[in-house]
A = this chain, B = another copy of it.
Amino acid sequence: MLDDITISRNATLQPITEIAKKLGVDENDLELYGKYKAKVNAKTNPKSKLILVTAINPTAAGEGKTTVSIGLADAMNKLGVNTCLALREPSLGPVFGIKGGATGGGYSQVLPMDDINLHFTGDLHAITAANNLLSALIDNHIYHGNALKLNPEKIYFRRCIDMNDRALRYCKVAGKNQGIERDEGFVITAASEVMATLCLANDYADLKTRLGNIIVGENENGDFVYARELNAEGSMATLLKDAVKPNLVQTIYGTPAFIHGGPFANIAHGCNSVMATKTAMTYSDYAVTEAGFGADLGAEKFLDLKCRTAGIEPNAVVIVATARALKLHGGVEKANLNSENIDAIEKGLANLYKHIENVKNVFNKPVVIAINRFPTDTQKELDYILNAVKAKGADGAISEAYSKGADGAIELAKKVIDATNVESKLQFPYELTDSIEDKVNAVVTKIYGGAGVEFSDLAKEKIKKAEALGFKNYPVIIAKTQYSLSDDATLIARPTGFTVSVRDIEIRGGAGFIVAVAGKIMLMPGLPSRPAAENIDVDAEGNISGLF
Contacts and interface: CB of A to CB of B under 8 A. Distances in A.
A531 B143 CA distance: 13
A241 to B, nearest CB: 5
Residue in A33, A128, A179, A232 whose Cβ sees the most chain B Cβ within 10 Å: A33
Contact of A235 (B135, B205, B536, B540): B536
A237 B536 CA distance: 9
B161 A168 contact: no
A536 to B, nearest CB: 4
Contact of A135 (B165, B204, B232, B547): B165
Contact of A166 (B178, B238, B535): B178
A143 to B, nearest CB: 6
A384 interface: no
B136 A165 contact: yes
B179 A546 contact: no
A524 to B, nearest CB: 9
A234 interface: yes
Contact of A241 (B129, B164, B526, B538): B538
B537 A234 contact: yes
Interface stretch (A117-125, A253-261, A369-377): A117-125
B33 A137 contact: no
Contact of A163 (B129, B174, B179, B528): B129
Given A231-B533, A238-B536, 15 more contacts: A31-B34, A32-B32, A118-B238, A118-B239, A118-B241, A119-B239, A135-B165, A136-B165, A136-B166, A139-B166, A145-B529, A168-B173, A171-B173, A234-B535, A234-B537
29 contacts: A96-B136, A118-B241, A119-B122, A119-B125, A119-B129, A125-B128, A125-B129, A132-B163, A133-B163, A133-B533, A136-B164, A140-B166, A143-B166, A166-B178, A167-B174, A169-B175, A169-B176, A170-B178, A171-B174, A172-B172, A172-B175, A230-B534, A231-B533, A232-B533, A234-B537, A234-B546, A235-B536, A238-B537, A241-B538
Interface of A: 31-35, 92, 96, 118-119, 122, 125-126, 128-129, 132-133, 135-137, 139-140, 143-145, 161-176, 178-179, 184, 203-205, 208, 230-232, 234-235, 237-239, 241-242, 526-529, 531, 533-538, 540, 542, 544, 546-547
